[in-house]
Amino acid sequence: MGDPLFYSLVLIFFSLLLINLFITNRSRNYKNLPPIPPCLPVIGHLHRTLQSLPAKYGKIQLLRWGCRRVVLISSPLIVEECFTKHDIAFSNRPFLLAGKHFHYNYTTVAVAPYGDLWRNLRRIMSLEIFSSLRMALFSSITRQEVRLLLDQISRSCSSGMTKVDLKSKCINLPFNVMTMMIVGKRYYGEDVGEAEEAKNFREAIRDAMELNSTANLGDFLPFLQWGDVSGLEKKMVRVMG
């Protein structure tokens, strides 16, 4: 009867080959596509070193990263044109796992697809957050935080020559400005209001930023996301919980 494992591997191989051929044929149906370098079945160009491609295939190439198509552009002038003359065509964002959990199912302005929702969010931000009137209202908070930072530095140097970590203080400053604007509390650096609450907040922000920047192969190879093999989704759910 033969080895079942062997037949299973053969079946998986031919299935992956058919999927690759299907995706490739679909790409060929579109007109005026950039050059597509040779790629492996299913995973596409995920294994390629992108630095060497422009010399052989030109300044614009169409790549396949798993199930997603990616345009690789190595010319600053072409990039500028994409985000000026053709900005609407490039305004959509891919539906990645981080957008599902950290951006409330793709409904924030950072990851929402171009459409009515995104335009409304952008209008609200322009009028209610970044308008001249709002910035003037919040300017007192910014001045207060800058003054507090200068006082902290002055106290650190009051006893003589002292080494001051300006990098961490300058990083904490915008975070404290934002949290004071939103919740009226300071969570970073010295003079925090509630130490335990501030600690939990910093840990949640740190974990969210780390997970948001973690490469997730499931975004490009969906079958790897089934069952959450890497455990990444569980971590995201825990942070948002």
Signed CA dihedral, 208, 210, 215, 216: sign only: negative
- With beta carbons less than 8 A apart as the criterion, state whether 212 and 223 touch: no
Report pLDDT digits (tens) over 210-225: 999 888 888 888 877 8
Predicted model pTM = 0.72
Q: Is the pLDDT of residue 29 over 60?
A: no
Tell me how far apart the alpha carbons of residues 219 and 68 are, in angstroms, rounded to a whole number. Answer: 9
Q: Which of 215, 227, 238, 4 is nearest to 97 (CA)?
A: 215
Q: What is the DSSP letter of 113?
A: P
Q: Is the pLDDT of residue 1 over 50?
A: no
The rounded mean pLDDT for the chain is 83
Q: Residue 76: enclosing H or E segment and its boundaries?
A: helix 76-82
**What is the residue type of 168?**
S
Q: Which residues contact 199 (CB under 8 A, 6 or more apart)?
A: none
Query: Which residues does residue 227 pair with via DSSP β-bridges, in sequence order?
Result: none
Tell me the DSSP string of 1-22.
---HHHHHHHHHHHHHHHHHHH
Q: What is the DSSP letter of 35?
A: P
Query: Which residues does residue 70 pair with via DSSP β-bridges, in sequence order?
Result: 63
- With beta carbons less than 8 A apart as the criterion, state whether 46 and 220 touch: yes
Q: Which of 139, 109, 111 is nearest to 126 (CA)?
A: 109
Report pLDDT digits (tens) over 184-204: 899 998 888 788 999 999 999
Lowest pLDDT segment from 8-22, 97-111, 154-168: 8-22
